[in-house]
Structure 1
């Protein structure tokens, strides 16, 4: 609509009193027309609502009848059971949640609930999360509040779940939480993770794969079990839910370590003992872990232990290159682990004395991390590992040229993960080692499929573009995945140039972030949240 005030609309113009009267008169007719249109819209909406209601009724009628002839109703019981099994997560145990199988399957309809409850295999894997402890600070005394009802429900659900598993072997994982030590109580209650483990003990005869993170003292709930009580146990993984155990367990007296089929063990290093009643000769997995990196094992002791484990396939160890008691090295013959495929070392010092004593003809995956000032080159051992496919290196472990090491990696390497926590080792020269030169010889690691580089501010976006373009333009090379965390801001957006390679199947993840800085509002009550990366 034309307006005599068109030139002033949207501006900061202030009309005079006469103009205000003129504007009000000008708006009388448009306002009346707006009222007429609102009335028409309301009438039409009423008609639409009536039609929609009629349609919804017909839709309900039609859908109900279509459901009667749905093909899924005609599936045989054995096919439905196979579908139910396929709905279970394959990489972990089942959560106690109505949003996933098997609980979800029983909420579809009555017949599916009946079928799911009659299938023990659906209920043979379970992940249990310990309810949090709520604290009350009344009068300055920290005591658990009365939230035992939630724990009782969790315990009852656990027993009901496992009761449905029939006679199937059980895979159970328990995720405990760190519990505060209750003071000012004459008779302190046991840790809640103890109650969870006590609920699992009656099913010990069917334990197959057990992963437990709990209060250290909670493991005493298993102290009365003997090897005959766990005839099916194959995997035992133990973690603490607190950094400093306040009540220890006499692990050498736990009979479950002597289970006839136990072949996979993972436990905290500070509690690992050479005299555990294990069947060492049948161990295929041995993981001695310390998430807080406070415990390391002397190489002498490591050699004694693994010499008793000829069947090892996976081994993870914390390594300290120092003779026991600070004395001289004790003689120890070389050890051949003919079946070992995965070796992970977290080192406090050089692992050379360990690796020089090991023969690993089938090694496929090698990871080394830690902090050391005197780590020699690993090139000699890499040359011997002719089947090596996966390597992970923490560059802070080395004080020699990383380039020399990378240039001597076996040509069989398919997956390489480089972590540069110091931000000083990984640069364009490192990436150039893997970049084919025009008309030149083949680059390092010609079979490389995945390259992951963490915390590398010195690598430029342009070098990444050159690397990807050169690798992808050679049909003999097989790069499938590249993931880089730059720890700096982007200087060049290379994703548009990479789009043809991404469309062809290359997976690219380039993450640019700046190191976290101290906020000028830190310590103030109204500190604003940090902006997203």
Structure 2
């Protein structure tokens, strides 16, 4: 016969509560501090664990499977029951009939006041116990945190010894370091950027970074403004400055670390003082035989005279040249002979206020050409411009930004077909000019000269001509018609089309878009002074689920509309366009990933269309004061170029 004290004895099989525990018995059974040390609830204990022996057996088996010992399981069951019974003491007090009077002006009777006082006294005692438990927990947490810190101080040094990074071979670390270099511009001479940042981690990393010559093969340096006495004037050569000397010395050490790697160097002159950048350029010219890409931004022309002393054997690896000079005054163009020197030059970018005549160059090698001038261009007229472009038979990217100078002796554009230039390899064309017919470089006339069967990206940007026109009233050419004729003549398949304030017939624009079914990026910036009727274009862009005919530009993924009318006629069309192309478009239509609408006037469209409804598509609707004009060189004036020379020179 087994007894209860026998550990092998099975539990009785009869149903009924195994033990009717009273809350008052627990302090003596568990000790005064156990209820606080244990959790109020233990996972695996059901609320009715003590109703029958079968439930108790199942509860004990669950606690045993969770890893609890028999002693801990029993104490845990007693603790949970004690907590629950203590909570029932407060609920058992007869004050429930007063709940309807809470928050009112009701005055309780004498007996009710007595019940309330008893209820509050019991509640205050429980609150005091909870506060005491919180204090104990707080001190216990402080003690535990101290132990944790002490253990970390003991263990962490040993963990550092077996850190996976310590076992990484130096060759792998070199590849990781190379991946830390910026991808859209040259490395910056600052301790918060790679590669200088990598050498500040530990001595081993510093040794690896200094021995990896490829880490130092690119550099972007900002020439600061020297600290000068107020008596100095800008025309004078500034006195020696410690910051200038120190930065030039840093550039010299940087280039020495690059070993024999080909160099990509960009210098940005943040100072308006002349003769200041020459010492930095002299440091660069010492390594001219290793130059692959050279960008000189805001460097005065008189500081560029050192380039004239170079010979083809001095720059055998130079492939990319970019010179940006927006300073005013009489430029010194003697250095421009330098463009014809590098034997492997394939990318040329010149951005100046006043363009000088370009020297003879091996134009057949040029694949990327960017010419920009604000006053006078590098060629006197359109004919000579096309002669220059025609020599670039391997041209792949072309960006021509013409000034808005007017013809003193205006002659009408000849009616005979113009001489056109065919560029078989060109895939990106950017033309910027004015639409007035009395300007030297008329935008429509320039576009009309190209035949580009391989072009994928086309940007046409119309500039305003605020000067007094020669023709009164002024006459503007149909630029959109010229663009449509270009697409038809070239039989090209455009992927990206950007039209900025161009003028012309909207039917020609529709025909141009119909000829480009593979268009993925469309950008239309309307002209507030000479707007075109965009409503037919927006209407045809709407996707109709019930129709089997795809809408205009069915492959469109990015759409930007600038300076759009917000009248009653446009409002429902724009709303329907956003809903049909950003919501759930038909199967034969690609969903718009990004749409940006800049309204000409404030409109309720901003509140009618809720962007969050079209996630994951990005929908942005703004008024004119939020218009974000694109300045491709904006970040450059902060000292960081917006490009990776030779890869994305256009920004």
TM range (shorter): 0.7 to 0.9
Is 1:231 matched with 2:316? Answer: yes
For the residues of structure 2 that align with 1:142 and 1:280, how far apart are their CA atoms? 37
What whole-Å deviation, never above 9, does each CA across 1:336-387 have from its counterpart, x for those lacking one?
A: 1110111111113433433333221101111111237422213222223422
Q: Do the aligned residues in 2 keep the contact of 1:487 with 1:515 (CA within 8 Å)?
A: no
Q: 1:392 aligns with which of 482, 492, 498?
A: 498
Secondary structure of residue in 1 paired with 2:292: strand
Q: 2:293 aligns with which of 209, 216, 220?
A: 209
Is 1:103 matched with 2:196? Answer: yes
Question: Counterpart of 1:220?
Answer: 305
Alpha-carbon shift at residue 464 of structure 1 (Å): 3.7
Question: Counterpart of 1:313?
Answer: 396
Alpha-carbon shift at residue 508 of structure 1 (Å): 2.7
Q: 2:596 aligns with which of 483, 491, 495?
A: 483
Q: Do the aligned residues in 2 keep the contact of 1:394 with 1:418 (CA within 8 Å)?
A: yes
Q: Do the aligned residues in 1 keep the contact of 2:432 with 2:460 (CA within 8 Å)?
A: yes
Question: Counterpart of 2:85?
Answer: none
- Structure 2 matches for 1:73-222, cutoff 5 A? 73-134=166-227, 136-137=229-230, 148-180=241-273, 190-213=274-297, 214-222=299-307
Q: 1:354 aligns with which of 443, 446, 460?
A: 446
Q: Which has the larger radius of gyration?
A: 2
Alpha-carbon shift at residue 251 of structure 1 (Å): 3.5
Alpha-carbon shift at residue 404 of structure 1 (Å): 3.9
TM-score w.r.t. structure 1 length? 0.77
Q: CA RMSD in A?
A: 3.6
Q: Do the aligned residues in 2 keep the contact of 1:434 with 1:443 (CA within 8 Å)?
A: yes
Question: Counterpart of 1:335?
Answer: 421
- Structure 2 matches for 1:281-292, cutoff 5 A? 281-290=364-373, 292=374
Q: 2:148 aligns with which of 43, 46, 55?
A: 55
Alpha-carbon shift at residue 302 of structure 1 (Å): 1.1
Is 1:364 matched with 2:468? Answer: no
For the residues of structure 1 that align with 2:578 and 2:173, how far apart are their CA atoms? 46
For the residues of structure 2 that align with 1:236 and 1:418, how far apart are their CA atoms? 32
Point out which structure has higher relative CO (alpha carbons under 8 A, 6+ apart): 2
TM-score w.r.t. structure 2 length? 0.64
Is 1:261 matched with 2:344? Answer: yes
For the residues of structure 1 that align with 2:163 and 2:601, how far apart are their CA atoms? 56
How many aligned residue pairs are there? 466
Question: Counterpart of 1:185?
Answer: none
Q: Do the aligned residues in 2 keep the contact of 1:274 with 1:305 (CA within 8 Å)?
A: no
Alpha-carbon shift at residue 202 of structure 1 (Å): 0.5
Alpha-carbon shift at residue 226 of structure 1 (Å): 1.7
Give 5+ residue unaligned stretches, structure 2.
Answer: 1-102, 105-130, 436-441, 465-474, 628-651
Alpha carbons of structure 1 residues 80 and 307: separation in structure 2 relative to 1, 3 Å: same
For the residues of structure 1 that align with 2:281 and 2:146, how far apart are their CA atoms? 55
For the residues of structure 1 that align with 2:366 and 2:409, how far apart are their CA atoms? 28
**Which stretch shows the higher mean deviation, 167-176 or 451-460?**
451-460
Q: 1:445 aligns with which of 553, 556, 559?
A: 553
Question: Counterpart of 1:406?
Answer: 510
**Which stretch shows the higher mean deviation, 86-95 or 131-140?**
131-140
Alpha-carbon shift at residue 442 of structure 1 (Å): 2.4
